């Protein structure tokens, strides 16, 4: 299984966000589609040469969730009510 990549994140005040890209190797999503790795602090973390991926997803209501992992090829993260949410989330049909 390939790790789902984060192609864009609009949460620019996150310590791992540089230029609308996530720079930590793996985030955890859920249990309600939110990015649980989000952190707001002074300074920046992560690595310039890393494009983030989804290490785990706890939202089992999403159609892309398989065994608590994300099987979407890529996701986007946006801002919802001042917290970061996975915008690729789709309710299971
Ligand atoms: S995906 Fe999560 S950890 Fe990565 S930059 Fe966005 S809010 Fe931060």
Cβ neighbours of residue 51 under 8 Å, at least 6 residues apart? 5, 6, 21, 22, 23
Q: Write out pLDDT tens, residues 9-42.
A: 999 999 999 999 999 999 999 999 999 999 999 8
Does 72 contact ligand 1 (Cβ within 6 A)?
Answer: no
Query: How much of the chain is helix, strand and coil, in % rounded to 5?
Result: 0, 40, 60
Residue 52 has pLDDT above 90, yes or no: yes
Q: Is the CB of 9 under 6 A from ligand 1?
A: yes
- 75 vs 2: CA distance, rounded Å: 13
Instruction: Read off the pLDDT band of 73 (50, 70, 90).
Output: very high
User: Which of the listed residues 4, 26, 27 should we mutate to test ligand 1's pocket, taking the one with most ligand atoms within 8 A of CB?
Assistant: 27
Q: Is pTM beyond 0.85 here?
A: yes
Q: Tell me what pLDDT residue 1 has.
A: 80
Domain ranges of the chain: 5-86
C-beta of 57 in contact with ligand 1 (< 6 A): no
Whether 3 and 54 have beta carbons less than 8 Å apart is answered as: yes
Contact 21, 9 (CB under 8 A): yes
């Amino acid at each position: 299984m390939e790790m789902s990549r984060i192609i864009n994140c609009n949460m620019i005040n996150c310590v791992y966000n540089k230029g609308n890209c996530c720079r930590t190797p793996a985030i955890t999503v859920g249990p309600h589609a939110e990015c649980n790795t989000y952190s707001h602090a002074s300074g920046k973390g992560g690595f310039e040469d890393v494009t983030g991926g989804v290490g785990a997803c706890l939202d089992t209501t999403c159609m892309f969730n398989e065994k608590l992992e994300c099987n979407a090829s890529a996701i986007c993260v946006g801002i919802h009510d001042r917290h970061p949410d996975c915008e690729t989330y789709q309710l299971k049909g």
